[in-house]
Structure 1
């Protein structure tokens, strides 16, 4: 006569809990690794885009004065000063005028009407006080001169 099989519910419960925890830890590790890879990939694409942008700017007659040009301003929050630091991709010059140039790659970022891009360009125009702002669209291989008009 075959021996009857008895199920140890306590052992089974412990095994299920351990499996769920192990699965959650594995998922967390893979999720973080994927996001690290995506960040690395975006940064690499940005670096390559900036290198190509310097060549495009030179081809279009701009002299690159400085790459990764830092600047700063003071913003007051409830009267307390807060230092704000920014870093534009390039300061360039052409025909005696100096411009701050921002390089964008991808589908949405190079659009001057994209909210994040527009705000960044506006911030640069205020902080750098150059003769103008350039948006270098690497997808289209085009340099846009950006000007802001404010209501009176």
Structure 2
């Protein structure tokens, strides 16, 4: 090839590399801010095999991968610092899909309406967007419900 052919190949290759770098930067820039779930799950407690909820999930075909996790939250209210926590009971897997698990509490019954599910479980779907949904487990009632949130335009 002549001297112009070499420049053309270098120009095309350089353009592809610049476009690829631009797309990486654009994707990084527009990712929603949030907790890195791998970092989050690396600090989770070990799974307690004696827990009734763990055994109940395993009998129903789920594999519990991560145990309880507490996420500390700092809230700024007009310059005053408030502190709270968010608890994830477990992370379970079935057929290659991961689920955030919330267990039933007697003192905190869940309301099975759209707004009740939104108020109690939406935060977990937003916190772990790579999970398929949220499993609500009530082993005393022999109940596992899968809750998935879909956002429309």
- Indicate the RMSD between aligned Cα atoms, in angstroms: 3.4
The TM-score, its normalising length taken from structure 1, stands at: 0.52
Note the C-alpha offset of 1:57. Answer: 0.5
1:101 and 2:63 aligned: no
Give the unaligned 5+ runs of structure 1: 1-49
- How far is the alpha carbon of 1:82 from its aligned partner? 7.9
C-alpha displacement of 1:138: 3.0
Who wins on radius of gyration, i.e. which is larger?
1
What's the CA shift for 1:128?
Answer: 2.0
- What 5-or-longer segments of structure 2 have no aligned partner? 1-49
8 Å CA contact 1:108–1:114 kept in 2: the answer is no
Q: 1:141 to 1:56 in 2, by over 3 A?
A: same
C-alpha deviation, 1:112, in angstroms: 3.4
The separation in 2 between residues aligned to 1:135 and 1:94, in whole angstroms, is: 15
Matched residue, 1:138: 139
Shift of 1:131: 1.8
**CA 1:75/1:108 → structure 2, altered by over 3 Å: closer, same or farther?**
closer
Q: Is 2:69–2:87's contact at 8 Å kept on the other side of the alignment?
A: yes
> 1:148 aligns to what SS in structure 2?
coil
Give the total of aligned pairs: 103
Normalized against structure 2, the TM-score is what? Answer: 0.52
Query: 1:74 and 1:123 mapped to 2: Cα distance?
Result: 16
SS in 1 for 2:55: helix
